[in-house]
Amino acid sequence: MYAALVGNLDGQNSGIAYYTGLSDYSHFKCLYFFLGPAADHLNYKNEYLIRNDELFFTLMKLRQNKSYIEIDITFTVHRTSVGKVFRTWMDNFMYYPFKEIDLFLGQ
């Protein structure tokens, strides 16, 4: 069985910052809760990952442009599953909440 990765980084702010760009684990959890409870009710079946880790590797892909193969090796999940999870998080959970945010406040 798969062991959760992001939970292992709780208290290791440099690891969270390196992989996601967020300053610490509490900011990661805030982002997870901001994206809403719908993440816990996704329609695809994934027996190996918890939702926190799905968000974590989505952020890893965005920040570091990790390939599906790198994520596959790190999380021990097939790369087709990695692609499906990444697209689902981007299309369903990140695009809509963030499209309303003005990224150029004060300019």
Q: Given this model, what pLDDT does residue 53 score?
A: 87
Residue 36: CB partners within 8 Å, gap ≥ 6?
93, 97
- Average pLDDT, stretch 88-93? 83
Give the C-alpha separation, 43 to 6, whole Å: 22
Residues 12-71 pLDDT 10s: 778 889 989 999 989 998 988 888 777 776 766 666 778 888 899 899 999 999 999 998
Whether the CB-CB separation of 53 and 4 falls below 8 Å is answered with yes
Structure pTM?
A: 0.80
